[in-house]
Amino acid sequence: MTLANIPVEPARGDVLRCKGWRQEGILRMLENTVANGEKPAELIVYGGSGRAARNWESFHAIVAALKALGDDETLVIQSGKPVAVFRTHAMAPKVLTANTNLVGKWATWPVYRALEAKGLIMYGQYTAGTWAYIGTQGILQGTYETFAAAGKRFPSGNLRGRIVLTAGLGGMGGAQPLAVKMAGGVCIAVEVDPARAERRVGMGYCDVIVHDATEAMRLARDAAGKGETLGIALIGNAADMFPALRRMGLAPAVVTDQTSAHDPLNGYVPAGMSLAEAVELRARDPDRYVREANASIVRHVAAMLGFQDDGAIVFEYGNNIRGQAEESGEVRAFEIEGFVPMFIRPSFAIGRGPFRWVCLSGDPEDLAVTDAAALAELPDDLLKTWMAMAKERVPIQGLPARSCWLGLGERDRMGLVFNRLVREGRLRGPVAMSRDHLDTGSVAQPTRETERMKDGSDPIADWPLLNALLNAVNGADLVSIHQGGGSGMGGSISAGMTVIADGSDSAEERIARCLFTDPAIGVVRHADAGYGEAKDAASRSGIVSPMGG
């Protein structure tokens, strides 16, 4: 029986529906993820088809199981469907979930879609299936870090006076205009769906919507010429707009893309058709839809290569658009480099990545207290700069939350501070701590997080699985493993986690272990690959290497 869906909003306050805060916190994270999703009525969070639960019947069953879950029990979820509750022990995770994991040569879109049609699997898409999605903010700082790093390649050291061209204003790409502005630049973001653009403008992530490429160019050039920042949403299809803008003489300093190109059936809209026509074709003839989407992706990537030939900094932003283009005939696709080896790997090597926390009380005052505590505990100039911008510019979506890039030894310190604040009654509720899957040791993806590793170990997927195992034995409240993510079917293996600071001694023990080893296995992974800065970070942190070195 399919249960009717209901509007989902995360619970707030101190009234528990579950037997403890660990279960209640996970339930609120699930509710918050769905409520912040791009298509909550379909349980789709972002990425075209990334779901929080397989269907509404499974969602309601998960909710009921969490409400009944004992302190010594663990709920097991297979691709969004709850399958068992096992007696474990009081320190064990409350939820273990695995999403979209297919065996070897069967990890293909046709196999996945056949299994999905039978109701046997769902696409978990990183923080959707890990129930750690906090809206567009979740990716904002990582996007800012990337564009700020791109700006450092110019004599000015930033993007001031420069134009960034990109596409995609969905759950991940929607952060781009604001991130570019934070880095000092002007952003033209092509978006095929006007509703998505309107949502970003309404939230303050983008400034203006235009329907004409000439007008977008005029606005961008005017703002860049004055050294001002501006976020422009240009309604259209990137496969059309990118080559048109190049023909018209736009000379962006930076070009990238965050359309859902990893999923050409559910995420990427072919050029030359309206959204309604695309939806109709997708249902009527999915094979033709994919062919046309891939043909559009080839045109899209060819235009990106053209901008690169013109001298722009061009990079893929982790959506597998290069892979899709290459499979469809664009032989130069991988002349475009990925953003991790270009900009982010030095951070990953020392365990620095996207730590986030959610104030489960729902009270914005708790966020203010945790923000102040973070700045007091970690008086770092980069953190101060980010926090000042975030508090001023980042709207709250759902439960109050913050995302900050913190390194090895900093996440566990912050987690223990938050646990103490809860214990002392200085917060009105517990704090759930998580991260993006795009982190130092949580993903193996040869065209993104592990692209061009120094030792050539790009496709080795042992490391995120070790990450998940460590988080499980150390008592994280939720542990997940995923295949695919934002990379297309079979493109990656990743692990997610959440641990809740409820003020208890148990939480203190588990936080100290989980929030250290979670980034530490990433440092070990980079040290093993030969990165000197990772070896130094491991040595400073007292990580023992049985092989020496």
How many beta carbons lie within 10 A of that of residue 388, not counting itself?
Answer: 11
Residue listed under structure tokens 């736009």: 250
CB 368 within 8 A of CB 483: no
Q: CA-to-CA distance for 69 and 153, rounded, in angstroms?
A: 52
Q: In what order do the strands lie in the sheet with 254-255?
A: 208-210, 230-235, 186-191, 163-167, 254-255, 313-316, 337-338
Q: Report the C-alpha gap between 400 and 20 in whole angstroms.
A: 21
Q: Which amino acid is at 316?
A: E
Interhelix angle for 56-68 vs 21-35, to 10°? 160
Angle between helices 505-528 and 411-423 in degrees, nearest 10: 170
Residues annotated catalytic, as ranges: 404
Residue reference for tokens 């009654």: 425
- The token pair at 403 is 């995302």
- Closest among 456, 439, 426 to 350, alpha carbons compared: 439
**CA pair distance 22, 26, nearest whole angstrom:** 6
**Structure tokens that stand for 277 in this block:** 């026509």
Contacts of 37 (CB under 8 A, 6+ apart): 43, 44, 45, 46, 52, 128, 133, 171
As a whole number of angstroms, the distance between CA 207 and CA 393 comes to: 12
DSSP, collapsed to helix, strand or coil, labels residue 283 as: helix
- List the end-to-end C-alpha distance of the chain, in Å, as a whole number: 58
Structure tokens at 343: 């900009």
Type of residue at 465: L
